A and B are shown apart, each in its own frame.
Chain A
């Protein structure tokens, strides 16, 4: 049976450490498939101007392309080089919710993330993406500091 790991990257240092940890883990497991996920924070309930709405599809495509080329593709390449089986995905939405959804869709065994890099007022009220994920995920979550 193949083990499946979902790694959530946010383009920051902690994500890199999560990647390194997953790489070690995968080597120990042996037969392992890794899914690199990047979530573009997005809410369907935000307020936009008419012009932003009209350009939304274009922006979304650009966001996916940028995230792929800057974060996901290099990570996939790095893992593939190390002889691991890796694929990448970019999704819009709430980070915790989307990572969990990806792991459910792929029947993943574990989610690995870095400690979230956001801060400030919103985090105090709503909690960080990482803690939300830990509280709501349906598979085990490893948080790499």
Chain B
């Protein structure tokens, strides 16, 4: 996920405590809402993000990493064995020209990616490297590589068990494969798990997929134009989102969907240029990453700190195991559900292994992290919680400064990119939320409209207030999706293994034909 919200929430909570001490009677409506909300949702949030006793390692991160490792072993390193095949599928080598006009593998991948590439790749990585040091990058890459197997599992099931309606439209995702798959295997409780997943998905869509995005977009815009009320940004954003998801103004969506990949390429391109200009430091940076991964190089929390931060950011950024990508991928019309699984395993690779690593390398070589030249170890900030940076910044600002150190005007492009990424993430999550909503309340234009209007209202709320506890709660909801989804995946993974065995056999026998040579 694209979130630095845990950090934001802590800051917000600290701010609330500080002000409430001397301004109790003048508590604003925002603060009252915060307090009531926090007291209700607190236990749930604490449960999801609870660390293992005696450590600061949240169990939910372990849950995601263990699942990714299990799927990697269970499917015999599918992410490496079928990597070349996945590229072939995306290129359209195996697409029947007679099916032209249907959603292609490339389109499904691009759509799912536009939902995950965003603040996590820019701000989240900066937080990870700031706290865990360059060594966090190593663990992030490892978690990204393992996460490819989780994506493969969930996206294959997403296509296999989706609903196809008479009018030709489709609905798919974890809620469908959990209920249908459990029924097929004769397991009880599928329906309950599916409903639970849908509820968490709606909450996650309104929170992390909406309010958090609106909030960060406003922070970026007001950072450039000076401070102004958040509800103004909120109303503008809500109007545009409304035009796209309710008004069906395809042109806006089309522009965004074209600009976002362009921004992604520009971002990676700029990072590559910076790396080329500083080519003499690349070897050193990788040295820092490897050394830091196992020794910590004196950062807060040492080697364990680097490991936690790396794993956490990878999980937050690529959403492998959360189940959201399965909703996006299920639109592809293919005779072989497993082909969509192969394609989807490229997502954590692009999102985490490529884009996040670029960010981490640029920050490392930029010299923004202050190092003691005598010892070769990083200097901690005054609080001792993170590496001291030039100007004492973290998050988006750290990334921005790191890019700005070589390309002075890039921070402006970055600000535009953050706003556009936030917008495209909102459009994607509005769809994930909508599919869960219609799963619960039934398909139909009216039911859909109710959710879409609620979604737009939350855009305004998200941009207007700094709702620390609300954002924290929505983060927790997204990870609660992973609890339900992965639990179900353990039962359903044998279905995927059967598909994989059959497909691999037919591929080897030459029955799966290439149309392009």
Contacts and interface: CB of A to CB of B under 8 A. Distances in A.
Given A44-B104, A44-B106, A58-B169, A49 B244 contact: yes
Contacts of A51: 245, 431
A92 B101 contact: yes
User: Which of B92, B95, B102, B106 has its CB near the most chain A CB atoms (within 10 A)?
Assistant: B102
Contact of A56 (B110, B167, B327, B331): B331
Contacts of A42: 100-101
Contact of A54 (B97, B106, B331, B427): B331
B257 A56 contact: no
Contact of A58 (B111, B167, B431): B167
A45 interface: yes
A49 B260 CA distance: 12
A49 B250 CA distance: 9
Interface in B94-117: 95, 97, 100-104, 106-108, 110-111, 114-115
Interface in A20-49: 40, 42, 44-49
B171 A54 contact: yes
A54 to B, nearest CB: 5
B339 to A, nearest CB: 14
Contacts of B95: 44
B170 A44 contact: no
Contact of A53 (B100, B107, B167): B107
A61 B100 contact: no
> In terms of DSSP, what is the predominant structure of the interface of chain B?
helix
B169 A53 contact: no
A84 B332 CA distance: 40
Contacts of B331: 50, 53-54, 56
B169 A54 contact: yes
B298 interface: no
> Interface residues of B toward A: which range?
35 or more
A48 B328 contact: no
Interface in A52-69: 52-58, 60-61, 63-64
A56 B100 CA distance: 11
B148 to A, nearest CB: 21
A3 interface: no
Contacts of B432: 50
Contacts of B431: 49-51, 54
A17 interface: no
Given A51-B431, A55-B169, A101-B97, A45 B104 contact: yes
A106 to B, nearest CB: 14
A84 to B, nearest CB: 26
> In terms of DSSP, what is the predominant structure of the interface of chain A?
helix
B100 A98 contact: yes
B428 interface: yes
B253 interface: yes
Interface in B62-98: 92, 95, 97
B253 A49 contact: yes
Interface in A68-98: 91-93, 98
User: Which of B92, B110, B432 has its CB near the most chain A CB atoms (within 10 A)?
Assistant: B110
A55 B260 CA distance: 21
B257 A57 contact: no
A65 to B, nearest CB: 11
B111 A47 contact: yes
Given A54-B169, A58-B167, A49 B257 contact: yes
A56 B261 CA distance: 20
Contacts of A92: 100-101
A20 to B, nearest CB: 29
A52 B110 contact: no
A61 B101 CA distance: 9
B168 to A, nearest CB: 3
Nearest to A49: B253
Interface in B116-165: none
B258 interface: yes
A40 B332 CA distance: 19
Contact of B100 (A46, A49, A55, A93): A93
Nearest to B108: A53
A44 B100 contact: yes
Given A57-B102, A58-B167, A52 B253 contact: yes
Given A49-B428, A51-B431, A101-B97, 17 more contacts: A44-B100, A47-B257, A47-B258, A47-B260, A47-B261, A48-B107, A48-B110, A50-B111, A50-B328, A53-B107, A54-B170, A54-B171, A55-B168, A55-B169, A57-B103, A57-B170, A58-B167
Interface of A: 40, 42, 44-58, 60-61, 63-64, 91-93, 98, 101
12 contacts: A44-B100, A45-B104, A47-B261, A48-B257, A49-B427, A49-B428, A56-B101, A58-B168, A58-B169, A60-B101, A61-B168, A92-B101
Closest 7 pairs between A and B when the two form their complex, measured CB to CB: A92-B101, A44-B104, A58-B168, A53-B331, A47-B257, A50-B431, A92-B100
Interface of B: 92, 95, 97, 100-104, 106-108, 110-111, 114-115, 167-171, 244-245, 250, 253-254, 257-258, 260-261, 327-328, 331-333, 427-428, 431-432
